[in-house]
Structure 1
Amino acid sequence: MRLLLALLALAAAPPRARAASHWCYQIQAKPSNYTCLEPDKWEGSCQNNRQSPVNIVTAKTQLDPNLGRFSFSGYDRKHQWTVQNNGHTVMVLLGDEASITGGGLSTRYQAKQLHLHWSRAMDRGSEHTFNGERFAMEMHIVHEKEKGPSGNQFAEDEIAVLAFMVEDGSKNVNFQPLVEALSDIPRPNMNTTMKGNVSLFDLLPKEERLRQYFRYLGSLTTPTCDEKVVWTVFQEPIQLHRDQILAFSQKLFYDHEQRVNMTDNVRPEQSLGQRQVFRSGAPGLLLSQPLPTLLASALACLTVGFLR
C-alpha cells in the first residue's frame, strides 16, 4: 500500500520537479509547453563570476608577447565527419586526430568536437562580441588538455576553445558539406555523415590570418558552465553566404515534433569582472582604434622620418 501511494505521489508531482535539470535557451522557454531552465536559471557553476561569453573591448585588451603563433597538427587531414543534432546545436565529432600547441598554451590539446551558435539575424548569432557588436554565427573548436598520469582534471585551463566569428559574405564552398548535412538531422539525437571530405583548415580563415587573437580565462557557455576554459577568440572572421547561415535556423529543430526551429542558441553576455583580456603579440595591428586615427598616426610617423 505504501508503495502504491508513493507511485501515485510521484505521478502527481508537477512537471517542474521532474524536469528541473533540463536547460534551454530563452527562445525555447517562451513557446514550449514543458518546463525548462532558461539562461538566468541555469544550474551548476553558471551563476559564478568567471563565466563566458564576454564582450571584448579591444582598446582595453593587454598585449601579451607570449601569445604567439599556434601549431596545428592534423588540421589538414580530410574526413567525412560525423555530424549530430544534440538538441542544442549541431556538433561535428572530430575523433582524436587533430591537436594544437603553441599560442601561449601550456601543453598539447586534443581536438574533440566543433559546434556553432547562430541566429536568423545577421547581427545576433555570436556569443562573444567585439566592442558590443555581434556576428551572424560563432564556431567553437573544443580541445581537451593532454594530461599525464597525475594530471589535474580541475585546472582552469583543462579545455581550450578556439572561437571564430562568422559573418555574412560570399558563398563558402568548404562549408557546404556541413550545410547539406543539416537536412539529414532535423531532430535531436540524430546523426549523419558528411557527403564530402573536409579538413578543419578548410573551415577556417587562412592560417596566416590566425596570428591575431584574444585570450582570457572563462567557462563553458552551456550548463554546467564549468570554469575551466582557456578561450582564444580570433579576430579574423569566417565568411558564409546568407543562405548558408539561414540553413541552420531553417533545417534544425530543438524538439522531436519539429515545432521550434533551432535558432538564437546564444548564451547572454556575462560580466568580465576583474578579468583581463589579452591580445596576441604576433606581427600586425589589432584595430582597437578607428582606421582614420591609425592612418593619421602612421602619416605623422612618416612625416617625422622625412624631416630628420
Structure 2
Amino acid sequence: MPPTPAQPPPLHHPREAASPAPPNQGHSQAPRTAPRPEACAGVRAEMIKGRNPGTPSCVDRIARKVGTSFPNQTPESHWCYEIQAKASNYACSGPSQWGEDCQKSRQSPINIDTTEAQVDSNLGPFSFSGYDKKQQWRVQNNGHSVMVLLDQEASIAGGGLSTQYRALQLHLHWSEEMDGGSEHTINGNRFAMEMHIVHEKEKRPLENEKEAQDSKDEIAVLAFLVEAGSENDGFQPLVDTLSSVPRPKMNTTMKESISLFDLLPKKEKLRHYYRYLGSLTTPGCQEKVVWTVFQERIKLHRDQTSGSQRVVPGPMASTSSGNLLDI
C-alpha cells in the first residue's frame, strides 16, 4: 500500500546512482551523466591528494539527472529524495527538479574508483580536539534526517585542511536495505549507512564577505561508511535515542553521555581516507565542501541499523536555520 502524506518513504535513500563511468583518458570529455569533480583522491596505505582539473580523474560522480529549476519553496512543495518523489501522494520536488548549483560539475556524492586513486603522504593525519569529550547531545528529527547538534564543542585540523574547522552537527543517511543507504560508493558498491560529521571553517579576522562566499572549502565533512558487523556498544546510546524522535520537528536529549570518538573506528584507523572537493548533497548543492571519506568502516549489528528505519521524515522545507546544514 502506498504511503500517506503523513508517512512518506524512509528518509535518506541517496540520490539515484548510475553505473560508474570509465575514468577520463587524456583530454577526452567525461560522459555527460558523470561529470568530474574538480579534485579527487584515494588511499592505499597512506593519505592521498586529488589531481588538478583536466587530468585523469580517480572518481566517478554518481549521476543525477538535472531538469527544470528548483521551484520556490511553499508549504506544499519541498525537496525530497527520488523514492519520495515517486510516491504518488507525496508532493515534493525530487532530484530531477533541483536547481541552484545542482547542475554544476563539482557535485557530490561520487563513486570512488580506488584503482585510479593517487597516494599523497603530504596530507598527514587529522588533529581532533574535543572528540573525546562525553556529552548528552541534543538530537532532532529535522524532516530530512536525524541530526545530533554538536554546538561547536569539537574541532578538527590537519589532514590537509587549510585551517581549523568547528563541528556543527552529525547526521545519518540510511535505507531499508543493508546495502543501499550510503551516499558515496566505493568501486560502485553502496553501504548500509553513512554518517556525516559537518564542520565549518573558522573565519579569519580579515576575511571579507566575498572571500567567504567564494570559498571552495567553507565546509569540511568527515564521512564514515557503515557496514554490518558485531554489536557496537559505543553507537548504542545514539541508536536508543532514535525512538524518541520518530517524527519531524521532534527533539530530545540523549540519556547517556557519549563522545564523538565513541561513534568512530579506533583513532589509529583514521589515517587512511579519500579526499576530494565537492558540494552539499541537498538543494542548493553549493560547491563549498571538502570531503573526507574514511577507508575504515563503522560496523553495526543489523539490529542497530534497523533502529533508523523507524524514524519517519516529513515534508519539511530544505532551508536550514542558523548553522545547521543539511548535507
User: Considering the TM-score relative to the shorter chain, is it more than 0.5?
Assistant: yes
TM-score normalised to structure 2 length: 0.71
Q: Which of 167, 181, 184 is matched with 2:244 structurally?
A: 184
Match of 2:149 in 1: 93
> Equivalents in 2 of 1:26, 1:74: separation in Å?
37
> Equivalents in 2 of 1:241, 1:104: separation in Å?
33
Displacement, 1:30?
A: 2.4
Name whichever of 61-70 and 19-28 sits farther off.
19-28
> Equivalents in 1 of 2:257, 2:75: separation in Å?
40
Match of 2:186 in 1: 130
Displacement, 1:173?
A: 1.1
Deviations 1:264-303 (A, max 9, x none): xxx9xxxxxxxxxxxxxxxxxxxxxxxxxxxxxxxxxxxx
Match of 1:110 in 2: 166
Gaps of 5+ in 2: 1-70, 316-326
Q: Are positions 1:53 and 2:109 aligned together?
A: yes
Runs of 4+ in structure 1 off by over 2 angstroms are: 15-21, 30-35, 149-152
Match of 2:299 in 1: 239
Q: Is the 8 A contact 2:144 2:314 kept in 1?
A: no
> Equivalents in 1 of 2:73, 2:201: separation in Å?
36
**SS state at 2:101 partner:** coil
> Equivalents in 1 of 2:125, 2:305: separation in Å?
29
Q: Are positions 1:82 and 2:138 aligned together?
A: yes
Displacement, 1:83?
A: 0.5
Deviations 1:57-104 (A, max 9, x none): 011111122211000000000000001101111100001210001000
Q: Is the 8 A contact 2:84 2:90 kept in 1?
A: no
Q: Which of 77, 80, 90 is matched with 1:24 structurally?
A: 80
Q: Which of 272, 282, 287 is matched with 1:212 structurally?
A: 272
Q: 1:203 to 1:182 in 2, by over 3 A?
A: same
Displacement, 1:177?
A: 1.1
Q: Is the 8 A contact 1:21 1:43 kept in 2?
A: no
Deviations 1:2-52 (A, max 9, x none): xxxxxxxxxxxxx99846861001121222524211012112211111100
Q: Is the 8 A contact 2:278 2:289 kept in 1?
A: yes
> Equivalents in 2 of 1:183, 1:20: separation in Å?
27
**SS state at 2:306 partner:** helix
> Equivalents in 1 of 2:118, 2:289: separation in Å?
19
**SS state at 1:153 partner:** helix
| Equivalent AA in structure 2 for residue 104 of structure 1 | G
Displacement, 1:150?
A: 3.1
Deviations 1:116-151 (A, max 9, x none): 101111111111111001110000000000012333
Q: Are positions 1:63 and 2:123 aligned together?
A: no
Match of 2:312 in 1: 253
Name whichever of 33-42 and 189-198 sits farther off.
33-42
1:131-150 equivalences in 2 (<5 Å) = 131-150=187-206
Match of 1:200 in 2: 260
| Equivalent AA in structure 2 for residue 124 of structure 1 | G
| Equivalent AA in structure 2 for residue 53 of structure 1 | P
> Equivalents in 1 of 2:272, 2:294: separation in Å?
6
| Equivalent AA in structure 1 for residue 236 of structure 2 | Q
**SS state at 2:268 partner:** helix
Q: Is the 8 A contact 1:16 1:35 kept in 2?
A: no
TM-score normalised to structure 1 length: 0.75
% same residue = 67
Q: Is the 8 A contact 1:68 1:102 kept in 2?
A: yes
Gaps of 5+ in 1: 1-14, 257-266, 268-308
| Equivalent AA in structure 2 for residue 245 of structure 1 | T
CA-based RMSD: 1.8
| Equivalent AA in structure 1 for residue 203 of structure 2 | K
| Equivalent AA in structure 2 for residue 108 of structure 1 | Q
Displacement, 1:158?
A: 0.4
Q: What is the total number of aligned residue pairs between the two structures? A: 242
